[in-house]
Structure 1
Amino acid sequence: METVRRPALVIASAAAALLLTAGCSADGGAPAPAAPASPGSPVASSAAPSPSAPPAKGSVRVAATLTEGLKSPWGAALLPDGDLLVSSRDEATITRVDTESGKRTSLGTVPGVAPAGEGGLLGLAVSPSYASDHQVYAYFTTESDNRIARLLYDERKPAGRQLGAPDTILRGIPKGTVHNGGRIAFGPDRMLYAGTGETGDRGLAQDRASLAGKILRMTPDGQPVHGNPSADSVVYSYGHRNVQGLAWDGQRRLWAAEFGQDTWDELNLIEPGKNYGWPVAEGRAGKPGYVDPVAQWKTADASPSGIAWARGSIWMAGLRGERLWRIPLAGTEPSAAPQPFLQGRYGRLRTVLAAGGAGLWLVTGETDGRGTPGAGDDRILRLAVT
């Protein structure tokens, strides 16, 4: 859990203490490009073939520090040319970072953002049709709610004035001082997914009429998608506490990371219409009707935020745990115990993105009000992984 500090806990050495398999599967092979699906196409298929497992042990090397001095960075998204867009939660700005030189260019400020607590300008996503529409999507907190809007990004205009007015596609996501969720991403089906939190009101996670404590799936215009559990709803899965990580594996399966409360943080394999347990279950409960996590961690060791898929593994950024986790996957369950990297070296880790091949981008989160910022915080690191 991100909001409460607890005494440090030690991860059990046995893999069984860390690896908890759900009844669903994930592919562990190298990510393969997926052809865009129609809106009604399934996002995941448990019958998909399962390539061989990646090695039980991997490695991470910090290849370079791309940039430093970022303030409250939260969301990040890759542009088609490989440059990064990064949001500032508290300053409500979007910045472009050249991934060759590290040069930063301000796109501008997103109007209507009301930063407070864990709310503010959160997740970013780039339209799958960016080459023609130049739209950037943002999830942010206002005075009344959390919402998702798209903004035209006009690179021809002067720095700081390159964002058009927000076009809200979904409003009314409940807000709170804590647990606002905020991660958004376009899936291989070209639909927009969003992870939300239950705002501290635990009952909202089980209320299917509420957008809180859910994973949402919608068209780029914010409309429900054919194939959602309910034809008139953007709710895709429920029973979540605070989802801040979304990623797809090489077989188009959706994975999500979320905060636990006092005992277990979770990595879940997401299927439409399934109930992931909160607040009835935290971690592996084995209760009928609820999906158990594929892997779980003591809360002091994770407090997971962004996740990415690369080299047959899910890579998970940890806030309170101040480390990057590698979870190798094969077939229907993890193939080895999760492996930690960079523990305590860069403080809180907020966002991780696949950079293609054996690369990852990692965004730190020391200036979010819960870290201990030092010289250079916050920064973006280029990682080489094997």
Structure 2
Amino acid sequence: MLAAAVLLLAGCSSGGGTPEAGRDRAPAGTASGTASPGRTAEPTPPAEGSVRVVRTVAEGLRTPWGLAPLPEGGLLVSSRDDGTITRVDEKTGKKTVLGTVPGVSAAGEGGLLGIALSPDYASDRLVYAYLTTESDNRIVRMLYDPRKPAGGQLGAPSTVFRGIPKGMIHNGGRIAFGPDRMLYAGTGESGDRTPAQDRDGLGGKILRMTPDGEPAPGNPFGDSPVYTYGHRNVQGLAWDDRQRLFASEFGQDTWDELNAVKPGDNYGWPRAEGKTSGTTYHDPIAQWHTDAASPSGIAYAEGSLWMAGLRGQRLWRIPLKGTEVSAPPQAFLKGEYGRLRTVVAAGGTRLWLVTSNTDGRGKPAGNDDRILEVEVS
């Protein structure tokens, strides 16, 4: 049975109003229910799944926000308020502070937020970070050199992209490299509704750019980094096993959203929150009342999207077939670990799950905040 607080919206309208220039182009990351030529039909995941917390990987973290698994082993974790990046040994839980990122101005929901590894990390050792400064939100990159002493392993940040509006709330902050090797960023409208519908602005958007911060080839609005617009506060980005992009988004008072991302589409905010009765806006594939979700990170594993809930204090499983939800979402870990900020695929049936109880809105236990290893099906 679907919980009363959740309304599932299976299917979505492509919406978006009149077609825009370049809209017929479909770069990697396009959400589409059509299987690629020569690929087998998509299986439908089981209607019900399971979650088991295998172990606590690390504890005693302060305002953790972003997490990036290293290919050589270890997990990089950003601290929103301290502006530091820490390496966690996923086997022993040992924490090593790599360094402090200069220029971080932490206040409200802003600070050092999402982190991601360069698609060429094996050769360039670059770590990307989304951060709030005194003037804006921006994306920087830094060289990580583990041969240097702890505390000094991060090189000076180089700004990749700047000018994203900042505020005490709604700073977005999730960054990720897609299967097309382009850099995607979820931004917020910084508490001001106006920027979300302004295609020339950067707030309330999903942005797509090259690793150097230039508008990515094939973007829907010509020489612009804007990929989609009409968002309130995007903090979750994930691709399924067929390279389709999905995003989670905070609602205001009524509906939080999970969206299938189609380049160039308008997702409605502030003119619409949740599903609408028309075709002007791209409807979410699922929506929740805000006390059941307030979603941040998402990850894909075992045929489902897994969505971390902050206010909802639970991990949602959303089974997919194509870009539609194939069965009612399930909630797990409700209230067991408090606020959940970030979830990252760990390979196979495993996820890394980061709590967020020291962010000023939670009730931290003595060992918060934590990274958990979770097994899902």
TM-score by length of 2: 0.93
Q: For structure 1, list consecutive stretches of 5 or more residues without a partner in the other structure.
A: 1-9, 25-38
CA distance in 2, matches of 1:332, 1:232: 28
Residue of structure 2 equivalent to 1:48: 35
1:284 aligns with 2:275: yes
CA distance in 1, matches of 2:363, 2:180: 40
Residue of structure 2 equivalent to 1:11: 3
Residue of structure 2 equivalent to 1:297: 288
CA distance in 2, matches of 1:214, 1:318: 21
1:306 aligns with 2:297: yes
Q: Secondary structure at the match of 2:251?
A: coil
Q: Secondary structure at the match of 2:291?
A: helix
Equivalent of 2:12, from 13, 17, 22? Answer: 22
1:337 aligns with 2:292: no
Q: CA deviation at 1:41?
A: 4.2
CA distance in 1, matches of 2:323, 2:220: 23
1:58 aligns with 2:46: no
Q: CA deviation at 1:199?
A: 0.6
Q: CA deviation at 1:40?
A: 8.3
Q: CA deviation at 1:12?
A: 1.9
Q: How far does the alpha carbon of each residue in 1:112-158 deviate from its partner, in whole angstroms, 9 at most, with x for none?
A: 00000000000000011001100000000000000000000011100
Q: CA deviation at 1:287?
A: 2.5
Q: CA deviation at 1:184?
A: 0.2
CA distance in 2, matches of 1:287, 1:141: 36
The residue correspondences of 1:106-255 to structure 2 (distance < 5 A) are 106-255=97-246
Q: How far does the alpha carbon of each residue in 1:157-214 deviate from its partner, in whole angstroms, 9 at most, with x for none?
A: 0001000011001000000000000000000001000000001110110001110000
Contact 2:315 2:334 in 1 (8 A): yes
CA distance in 1, matches of 2:73, 2:155: 22
CA distance in 1, matches of 2:209, 2:196: 19
Contact 2:305 2:320 in 1 (8 A): yes
Q: How far does the alpha carbon of each residue in 1:79-138 deviate from its partner, in whole angstroms, 9 at most, with x for none?
A: 112421100000000001111111111110000000000000000000110011000000
Q: How far does the alpha carbon of each residue in 1:303-340 deviate from its partner, in whole angstroms, 9 at most, with x for none?
A: 00000000000000000000000000013421110000
Contact 1:40 1:226 in 2 (8 A): no
Q: How far does the alpha carbon of each residue in 1:262-304 deviate from its partner, in whole angstroms, 9 at most, with x for none?
A: 1000000001100000001100013222000000001000000
Equivalent of 1:256, from 247, 270, 279? Answer: 247
Contact 1:61 1:384 in 2 (8 A): yes
CA distance in 1, matches of 2:283, 2:180: 25
CA distance in 1, matches of 2:28, 2:153: 36
1:371 aligns with 2:371: no
CA distance in 1, matches of 2:322, 2:242: 11
Contact 2:10 2:326 in 1 (8 A): no
CA distance in 2, matches of 1:248, 1:18: 20
Equivalent of 1:84, from 75, 78, 89? Answer: 75
Residue of structure 2 equivalent to 1:7: none
**% identical equivalent positions:** 68
Contact 1:73 1:89 in 2 (8 A): yes
CA distance in 2, matches of 1:160, 1:280: 46
Amino acid across the alignment from 1:148: I
CA distance in 1, matches of 2:33, 2:44: 16
TM-aligned CA distance change 1:142 to 1:279, over 3 Å: same
TM-aligned CA distance change 1:60 to 1:133, over 3 Å: same
Amino acid across the alignment from 1:127: S
Contact 2:114 2:174 in 1 (8 A): yes
Q: Secondary structure at the match of 1:300?
A: helix
Q: Secondary structure at the match of 1:151?
A: strand
Aligned CA-pair RMSD: 1.5
Contact 1:20 1:284 in 2 (8 A): no
Amino acid across the alignment from 2:240: D
Q: Secondary structure at the match of 1:355?
A: strand
CA distance in 2, matches of 1:321, 1:83: 29
Contact 2:306 2:316 in 1 (8 A): yes
CA distance in 2, matches of 1:87, 1:175: 19
CA distance in 1, matches of 2:208, 2:296: 19
Equivalent of 2:256, from 265, 278, 302? Answer: 265
Amino acid across the alignment from 2:371: I
Amino acid across the alignment from 1:139: Y
Amino acid across the alignment from 1:105: T
Q: Secondary structure at the match of 1:278?
A: coil
* Count of residues paired in the alignment: 361
Q: For structure 2, list consecutive stretches of 5 or more residues without a partner in the other structure.
A: 15-24
